Amino acid sequence: MIDHGVALPYYRMHVVPAVVALASPTRQREVWLDPGEFEDLDHVVHVLFDDFCDADDPHPWLGQSLRTEEEVELMARLGAAYGVVQEAVGADAADEVYLDSPAWPAVVAAAGRLAQVMAANDHAA
């Protein structure tokens, strides 16, 4: 494993918690479905696809907010899993509809694996 470092640590400080949130179904239901909370699925999606990474095309983020090729590969898997759900339920569907999708567990699993790798890589760094 080659650790390419992180040129944008501030970005990574947003990416890691967003991945962890996607890996936690309990947190999703307790936080995202509470209208009094700031964080929701839309926020997490903006972090991972628009603002601090691009889960649809994560390779350019290697050495920026992603440390290793493995993180890039796992982020791409997460992006693909999310894309399957979004295509099935529609981009404008409510968070609860996403969470109830039969394909949502694949998103949670992909995020869980990525969260483990990112935490381990940060610990090793």
Q: Where are the domains of the chain?
A: 9-124
pLDDT tens readout for residues 87-123: 999 999 999 999 999 999 999 999 999 999 999 999 9
Alpha helices by DSSP H, listed for 1-125, are 9-22, 25-27, 41-45, 69-89, 95-100, 104-124
Question: CB of 104 within 8 A of CB of 98?
Answer: yes
Does the pTM surpass 0.85? The reply is yes
Question: CB of 5 within 8 A of CB of 124?
Answer: no
Q: CB neighbours (10 Å) of residue 9? A: 11
- Cα 89 to chain centroid, rounded: 18
pLDDT tens readout for residues 22-77: 999 999 999 999 999 999 999 999 999 999 999 999 999 999 999 999 999 999 99
Query: What average pLDDT does the chain have?
Result: 96
